Amino acid sequence: MVPFVMRLVAVLAAILPAVVSAAQPEPKLTLVVPFVAGGPTDKLAQPFVAAFGRALGERVSVKNIGGGGGSVGTREVQRARPDGKVLLLANVGHAAAPALNAKLPYDPQKDFEPVGLIADVPMTLIARRDLRAHNVAELRTQMETGRRKLAIGHAGEGSASHLCSVLFARAAGKDLPTLTHPGTASAMNAMLSDGHIDLMCDQTTHTLERIRSGEVQAFGVTTVERLAALPDVPTLAEAGLPGVQLVVWHGLYAPKSTPPERIERLSAALRQALQDPALIDALKDLGATPAKADDATPKALRARLAADVERWSKALKQ
């Protein structure tokens, strides 16, 4: 009898932790990344949620919902209960989307509560490594005289990569066939595996390593100055494509009508997270610049969003 009881106790001791952990509540806060896993927004979100969760004292997890240039995941946050438990990580595309997506199912300014800016990320114009063009001049020649039209991949209407593709096509004076994906991670996979994508404009969070290893070639960066992380890559203006200047700023949003005290708490945790050495290091490795404390506020994000909605609606009208 006694050995049986001891065996029973041993079995229970072995399975109990699994039972207890399976019964634990769902993570407390969900951060929606409106693009597929492994892409630029996800790469930023992963170290961010770790630091943000520490600062907030809550469990935070990332949920990737790709599609519609970011609008599918964004819509999910718009519809979530406004208790500050479901948040959105959106980039400059949130401001450009009204001009780029005629069927946008929400108003980026009216349907969300801004929490604060998170980080800025530069973009890079990249190509398949076997494309026989190694700089912007050769790229232009190939676009003029090549037997087939070069195709550009992006993450759908209203995404940062779409915005950048539009600026590129305009600066180059050429329309390019486009192939859309639910995030640049899958567009990149298609480009690397002969999925008929020749070019992409994508963020350093997702391209730095591939450029450094030679997996893809880089024609230029979208910033005013060259990047310390890629000193040999010219700016696109230097390379002959002025007008393709774009910094991908990222903001944190809650659904409309989230209580002000909760927004203030989230915003304070955001500012604290941006001081976290682990996050600072991770952002540096991705070529990202953390937002300054003054910008990690609802007021600053609201102003940035309003200014950019206006800017892109004017700039993209033609």
Residues that bind ligand ASP (CB under 6 A): 35, 39-42, 91, 93, 155, 159-161, 183-185
Question: Could you please report the per-residue DSSP string of 143-171?
Answer: HHH-SS---EEES-TTSHHHHHHHHHHHH
Q: Are 152 and 247 in contact (CB under 8 A)?
A: no
Residue 112, CA distances (Å) to 88, 128, 222 in order: 9, 38, 28
**CA end-to-end span of the chain, whole Å?**
86
Closest approach of ligand ASP to the CB of residue 39, in Å: 3
Q: Which is nearer to ligand ASP, 185 or 263 (CB)?
A: 185
Q: Please give the Cα distance from 72 to 95 (Å, whole number).
A: 15
Q: Which is nearer to ligand ASP, 45 or 279 (CB)?
A: 45
Q: Which is nearer to ligand ASP, 45 or 274 (CB)?
A: 45
Q: What number of other Cβ atoms are within 10 A of residue 302's Cβ?
A: 16
Q: Which is nearer to ligand ASP, 42 or 198 (CB)?
A: 42
Q: What number of other Cβ atoms are within 10 A of residue 10's Cβ?
A: 9
Question: Could you please report the per-residue DSSP string of 239-308?
Answer: TT-TT---EEEEEEEEETT--HHHHHHHHHHHHHHTT-HHHHHHHHHTT-EEPPTTTSSHHHHHHHHHHH
AA identity, residue 246: L
Closest approach of ligand ASP to the CB of residue 260, in Å: 29
Q: Which is nearer to ligand ASP, 184 or 222 (CB)?
A: 184
Q: Which is nearer to ligand ASP, 183 or 255 (CB)?
A: 183
Closest approach of ligand ASP to the CB of residue 205, in Å: 8
Q: Which is nearer to ligand ASP, 93 or 290 (CB)?
A: 93
Q: Please give the Cα distance from 71 to 194 (Å, whole number).
A: 27
Residue 241, CA distances (Å) to 169, 238, 285 in order: 10, 7, 27
Q: Please give the Cα distance from 317 to 213 (Å, whole number).
A: 39
Closest approach of ligand ASP to the CB of residue 290, in Å: 17
Closest approach of ligand ASP to the CB of residue 19, in Å: 37
Q: Is 212 exposed, middle or buried (0-12, 13-18, 19+ CB in 10 A)?
A: exposed
Beta strands 216-221 and 112-128, pairing class: antiparallel
Q: Which is nearer to ligand ASP, 53 or 93 (CB)?
A: 93
